[in-house]
């Protein structure tokens, strides 16, 4: 019977982060401690410990109070291997070398515990403007695993003025600045006809990765939604 399932055998790799296929990530814990999206573990082998990652300092606790967000990351450590995924979304690896990227919270799967993170608001965005406008800034050296709802496209921000739906822009590089563009002429003309009059504007030198979707619909917590653009699910006070 195993011969008929041979194409699904585990892929062996010496890398700390290794894709098993386009939707499943394997992390070798002998090499690294990892922070991951809470609930993203689908399997593991070995002696593995899972614990709440915490908010990581007074500054981030203050931002939790301001944004209504907090941490729902889990810290994974031990020996062995852990397999991570989220709703069969595509997984992409970015390796940082003393650099930083900004990630839409709902599109973050996992990252090396040695990478620092902080909550960042899109410049010019009001806290009432809706999803995608609070994001995570990740800085340091190591791997970051990003989720996309379908195959994304990598846009060169320096090549032309670049704009995207706040929920479709999933990550962008250092050297890229963000802002808000409001175009009321676009009302009810594109997408779902709801929030598309407000777009993220990208400038500078670098790239932005855009998914072919406005994102998976995630359940809101009792008592109302959040303006966190996915941080409300990744980060929870």
CB atoms closer than 10 angstroms to residue 195: 16
Supply the pLDDT for residue 120: 86
* Range picked from 43-47, 192-196, 215-219, 230-234 for highest mean pLDDT: 43-47
Indicate the average pLDDT of the chain.
81
113 pLDDT band, cuts 50/70/90, is: confident
Mean pLDDT of 173-197: 69
87, pLDDT greater than 70: yes
53, pLDDT greater than 80: no
Nearest-5° Cα angle at 14, 9 to 18: 60
Closest CA to 132 of 54, 23, 208: 208
Closest CA to 183 of 169, 168, 201, 171: 201
CB atoms closer than 10 angstroms to residue 112: 22
* Tokens of residue 49, six digits: 């410990």
Distance CA 134, CA 104 (A): 7
Supply the pLDDT for residue 70: 41
Instruction: From residue 222, give the alpha-carbon distance in Å to each of 42, 43, 69, 73, 225.
Output: 27, 30, 14, 20, 8
Supply the pLDDT for residue 55: 56
* Tokens of residue 2, six digits: 């195993």
Distance CA 55, CA 37 (A): 13
62, pLDDT greater than 60: no
Instruction: From residue 232, give the alpha-carbon distance in Å to each of 4, 26, 54, 205, 237.
Output: 42, 26, 15, 30, 9
Supply the pLDDT for residue 133: 74
Kindly state the percentage of the chain with pLDDT values over 70.
73
Supply the pLDDT for residue 47: 95
154, pLDDT greater than 50: yes
Distance CA 107, CA 234 (A): 9
């Amino acid at each position: 019977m195993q011969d008929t399932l041979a194409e699904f055998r585990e892929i062996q790799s010496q890398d700390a982060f290794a894709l098993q296929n386009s939707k499943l990530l394997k992390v070798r814990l002998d090499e690294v401690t990892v922070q991951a999206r809470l609930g993203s573990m689908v399997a593991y082998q070995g002696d593995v410990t899972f614990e709440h990652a915490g908010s990581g300092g007074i500054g981030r606790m203050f931002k939790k109070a301001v944004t209504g967000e907090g941490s729902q990351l889990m810290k994974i450590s031990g020996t062995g291997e852990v397999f991570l995924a989220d709703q069969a979304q595509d997984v992409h690896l970015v390796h940082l070398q003393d650099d930083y990227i900004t990630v839409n919270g709902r599109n973050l799967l996992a990252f090396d515990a040695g990478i620092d993170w902080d909550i960042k608001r899109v410049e010019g965005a009001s806290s009432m403007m809706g999803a995608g406008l609070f994001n995570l800034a990740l800085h340091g050296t190591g791997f970051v695993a990003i989720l996309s709802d379908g195959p994304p496209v990598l846009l060169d921000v320096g090549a032309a003025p670049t704009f995207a739906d706040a929920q479709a822009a999933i990550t962008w590089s250092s050297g890229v600045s963000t802002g808000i563009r409001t175009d009321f002429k676009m009302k009810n003309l594109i997408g779902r006809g709801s929030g598309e009059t407000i777009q993220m504007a990208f400038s500078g030198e670098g790239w932005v990765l855009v998914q072919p979707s406005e994102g998976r619909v995630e359940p809101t917590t009792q008592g109302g939604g959040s303006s966190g653009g996915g941080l409300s699910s990744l980060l929870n006070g």
